[in-house]
Amino acid sequence: MRRLGTVERAAGGVAVVRVPDPDDERYDPPALGTEVVDERLATVGRVVDVFGPVDRPYLAVTAASGEPAGLLGRVVYGR
C-alpha cells in the first residue's frame, strides 16, 4: 500500500487527488483501476484518470459509494 495523496476537490461522483511532492526525480502514478482506500483501509473508490503535470499529477477517483465530498482534505492510499 502506498500514499496516493490528498483529496482536494470533489464533484459529480469524482474526487480529485493531488499527489505528494515526489521524493525522487520520477513519480510513478498508479495504474488505472487501482483500488483507493482511506486510513482505516476502507475502500473509497478507484483511480479512473491521471492528468496534469508529469512531475506532480492529479488523480481522478470515482467514489465507491455516496458523494466524495466527505473525502475532502483526507489522505488516500492505493492498494
Given 3-state DSSP classes, what are the helix, strand and coil percentages for the chain, each rounded to the nearest 5?
5, 45, 50
Contact 64, 43 (CB under 8 A): yes
**For the chain, which domains are there?**
2-68 (2.40.10.230)
Is 80 exceeded by the pLDDT of residue 25? no
Mean predicted confidence (pLDDT) in 15-30: 78
Say what the pLDDT of residue 34 is: 96
Say what the pLDDT of residue 23 is: 65
pTM exceeds 0.75 for this model: yes
